[in-house]
Copies of this chain bind each other. A is one copy, B any other.
Amino acid sequence: MSWTITANLVPGLARGAAVLGTGGGGDPYIGALLAAQAIQQHGDVTVVSVAEVPDDALVLTVAMMGAPTVMVEKLPSLDEVIAPVHALGAFLGRAVTHIACAEVGGVNSTIPIAAAAALRLPLIDGDGMGRAFPELQMVLPTLYGIDASPLAFSDEKGNVGVLNTVDNAWTERIARVACVEMGCSVMISGFPMSGLQARESLVADSLSLSREIGDGITAAREAKTDPVERTVRLLGGRELFAGKVTDVQRATTTGFARGRARIEGAAGTLELSFQNEHLIAELDGRTLVTTPDLIIVLEHDSGEPITTEGLRYGQRVRVIAAPSDERWHSSAALAMVGPGYFGYDTPSHRFDGRVEHLTDDRGGAAA
């Protein structure tokens, strides 16, 4: 079923996408500004469900690649956003028919809205991850043998490149060094897919879910009910912890924002490890949840999502966990996005919803 993104729907959608983005994908409000501006200039965006994409479609993903710490200071222009789509369409010698999100996450759910508006193309209600991950090959299409390349990238200066690589890991490696050299943030378009491939490999309905989560946070606040509980319910997840951020270590290295955050609460000390996105949650040294399952940090009272680069000393937060798309738990998927890939010794610790509920609504001691 198709629906329409008007400018007034963008803030809610961006907020919900930032929840699913598990801390990554950059500041959602930055991307939302760009999407709203594009819609005002070029008209509303038609969203089509994954099931509606015709077999012979040419679907391209559009995303911002780089360190979120840099992205927030370097909002791309609409010209920069559409440059890689044009370059890739020319390289392929075919007309692009649909835009898709590579991930759900702050900037990377809203930049494709801007691209779809400016290009007057439909946007697919789905994405390649059902969450956000830091490297470009980390999408379910990779597991279906879909190539990231040909992939195009562009920067704000007007530089454009097209890569055609032997595998998705090489696309990531070459695009990443180019991205770092070009200022730690570029626009990319890639993963050319037929409609058949898109239907098979994308996570369906993630824009609808983002919108539902985002609007739900606002609605709960207005109704004076708990916005976090509502989000947890929509995700089929569980609240893990509530507390105060007491330490954040963060470094932007090799194009990523890597770091750790410590949160202290009545139930103990929660440590989060992140690389753009939250990857591991440990309570007093005990692993609770690991990538690929979702670890989400929300503002304690408002339920607003907090990105990894937005984490600050003294924030009162609640941390929730939710299961990832089932396909992320295959052994091939875990080799690509499990804790080991990111350099952690921690074994993959699947979230099964049975993690104890460690906090009550008031952030007090838990059962």
A residues sitting closer than 8 Å to B (CB atoms) are 87, 90-91, 157-166, 170, 173-174, 176-178, 180-182
CA distance A160 to B173 in the complex (A): 13
Given contacts A157-B166, A161-B162, A178-B178, 13 further A-B contacts (CB under 8 A): A90-B91, A91-B162, A157-B170, A158-B166, A159-B163, A159-B165, A159-B170, A161-B163, A161-B164, A162-B162, A173-B181, A177-B177, A177-B178
CA distance A178 to B87 in the complex (A): 19
CA distance A173 to B181 in the complex (A): 7
CA distance A201 to B132 in the complex (A): 49
User: Which residues on B sit within 8 Å (CB–CB) of A161?
Assistant: 161-164, 174
Quote the shortest CB–CB distance from A2 to chain B (angstroms). 35
Q: Which residue of B lies closest to A151 (CB)?
A: B161
CA distance A180 to B159 in the complex (A): 19
Question: Among A87, A161, A177, A178, which residue has the most Cβ atoms of chain B within 10 A?
Answer: A161
User: Which residues on B sit within 8 Å (CB–CB) of A159?
Assistant: 163-166, 170, 174
A-B contact pairs, 16 of them (CB 8 A): A87-B164, A157-B166, A157-B170, A158-B165, A158-B166, A159-B166, A159-B174, A160-B163, A160-B164, A161-B161, A161-B164, A161-B174, A162-B162, A174-B181, A176-B181, A178-B178
Q: Which residue of B lies closest to A154 (CB)?
A: B164
CA distance A90 to B158 in the complex (A): 21
Quote the shortest CB–CB distance from A152 to chain B (angstroms). 9
- CB pair B163–A174 under 8 Å, yes or no, is no
User: Which residues on B sit within 8 Å (CB–CB) of A157?
Assistant: 166, 170
CA distance A245 to B177 in the complex (A): 38
CA distance A176 to B174 in the complex (A): 11
User: Which residues on B sit within 8 Å (CB–CB) of A165?
Assistant: 158-160
User: Which residues on B sit within 8 Å (CB–CB) of A182?
Assistant: 174
Q: Which residue of B lies closest to A180 (CB)?
A: B177
CA distance A165 to B90 in the complex (A): 16
Quote the shortest CB–CB distance from A156 to chain B (angstroms). 10
User: Which residues on B sit within 8 Å (CB–CB) of A176?
Assistant: 181
Q: Which residue of B lies closest to A166 (CB)?
A: B158
A-B pairs with lowest CB-CB distance, top 3: A177-B177, A159-B165, A177-B181
Quote the shortest CB–CB distance from A85 to chain B (angstroms). 14
Question: Among A157, A162, A173, which residue has the most Cβ atoms of chain B within 10 A?
Answer: A162
CA distance A166 to B79 in the complex (A): 14
Quote the shortest CB–CB distance from A150 to chain B (angstroms). 9
Quote the shortest CB–CB distance from A132 to chain B (angstroms). 24
CA distance A220 to B84 in the complex (A): 57
User: Which residues on B sit within 8 Å (CB–CB) of A170?
Assistant: 157, 159
- CB pair A174–B164 under 8 Å, yes or no, is no
CA distance A87 to B90 in the complex (A): 13
Quote the shortest CB–CB distance from A293 to chain B (angstroms). 31
User: Which residues on B sit within 8 Å (CB–CB) of A178?
Assistant: 174, 177-178
Q: Which residue of B lies closest to A164 (CB)?
A: B160
CA distance A83 to B155 in the complex (A): 25
User: Which residues on B sit within 8 Å (CB–CB) of A160?
Assistant: 163-165
Question: Among A87, A91, A164, A173, which residue has the most Cβ atoms of chain B within 10 A?
Answer: A164
Q: Which residue of B lies closest to A162 (CB)?
A: B162
CA distance A178 to B164 in the complex (A): 13
CA distance A174 to B180 in the complex (A): 9
User: Which residues on B sit within 8 Å (CB–CB) of A90?
Assistant: 91
Q: Which residue of B lies closest to A181 (CB)?
A: B177
CA distance A181 to B90 in the complex (A): 26
